[in-house]
Amino acid sequence: MTQDGRRLRGLRSREAILEQAVGLASVEGLDGLSLGRLATATGTSKSGFFAHWRDKEQLQLDAVEWAARQWTEHVVAPALRAPAGVRRLFALHEARLTFYDDGVLPGGCFFFTVQAEFDDRPGAVRDRVARSMREWQEFIRRQVAEAVALGELAESVDPAQLAYEIDALGEMVIIHSRLHGGPDSLRHARRAVLQRLRALCPDPALLPEN
């Protein structure tokens, strides 16, 4: 096998492990990651793990990076195909709900699980999780601010406040859907944001009625 072939094989192995790690962490948290369990799940030897990661903390950090990339691909990228303004803002919320509804991760949301796990544990992993959460919330805030600038949301709208509300409604889906089951939490979260945006939009026809 050529050097390029070995490098490609190594990259595929690493990404398969990270995909499995993020799925497991969405249920059990990052501390629940076991090298032995991941090795079995991915068909990788323990020595193969050490070729990619020097210790568990580095695996955890790389899992956060992989989860952030996954979120961008499944949630952010689809929303960016919608027209800028209030339609993109609502598309972002809908893409998030679709991510949960499709069961991409067995635990629903990687970041919901790990932010609760590391919120009071100083260190590199906490810092990386916190940065991902700040970047996500700032992204929502920018979409709100752009909608205001385009005249598609009232000038009185506080971008930080509305972004907080939208994010909180999306996050609540994880708790309600996991504990109570059924599609009601998704419907309620979608309707709550839609009604909020329509009430603040000078031209509600830009958004669905229900």
Look at residue 188 and tell me whether its pLDDT is greater than 70: yes
Report for 4-8, 29-33, 44-48, 162-166: range of highest mean pLDDT: 162-166
In contact, 57 and 73? CB cutoff 8 Å: no
**Average of pLDDT values for 57-78?**
96
Using 50, 70 and 90 to split pLDDT, how confident is the model at 7? low
Look at residue 126 and tell me whether its pLDDT is greater than 80: yes
Burial class (CB in 10 A: 0-12, 13-18, 19+), 35: middle
- Cα–Cα distance for residue pair 108/148, rounded to 1 Å: 31
**Average of pLDDT values for 5-15?**
65
Angle between helices 86-101 and 184-200 (to 10 degrees): 180
**Average of pLDDT values for 157-166?**
98
What tens digit of pLDDT does each residue of 19-55 get? 999 999 999 899 888 777 777 776 766 666 666 777 8
Burial class (CB in 10 A: 0-12, 13-18, 19+), 146: middle
Q: What is the pLDDT of residue 36?
A: 72
DSSP string over 56-82: HHHHHHHHHHHHHHHHIIIIIHHHHTS
**Average of pLDDT values for 2-21?**
71
**pLDDT over 70 for what percent of the chain?**
87
Using 50, 70 and 90 to split pLDDT, how confident is the model at 100? very high
In contact, 108 and 45? CB cutoff 8 Å: no
Q: Would you say the pTM of this structure is higher than 0.85?
A: yes
- Long-range residue pairs from 68-72, CB within 8 A, at least 24 positions apart, any chain: 68/132, 68/135, 70/22, 70/104, 70/110, 71/99, 71/110, 71/111, 71/136
Q: What is the pLDDT of residue 46?
A: 64
- Residues recorded for the chain: 210
Look at residue 191 and tell me whether its pLDDT is greater than 60: yes
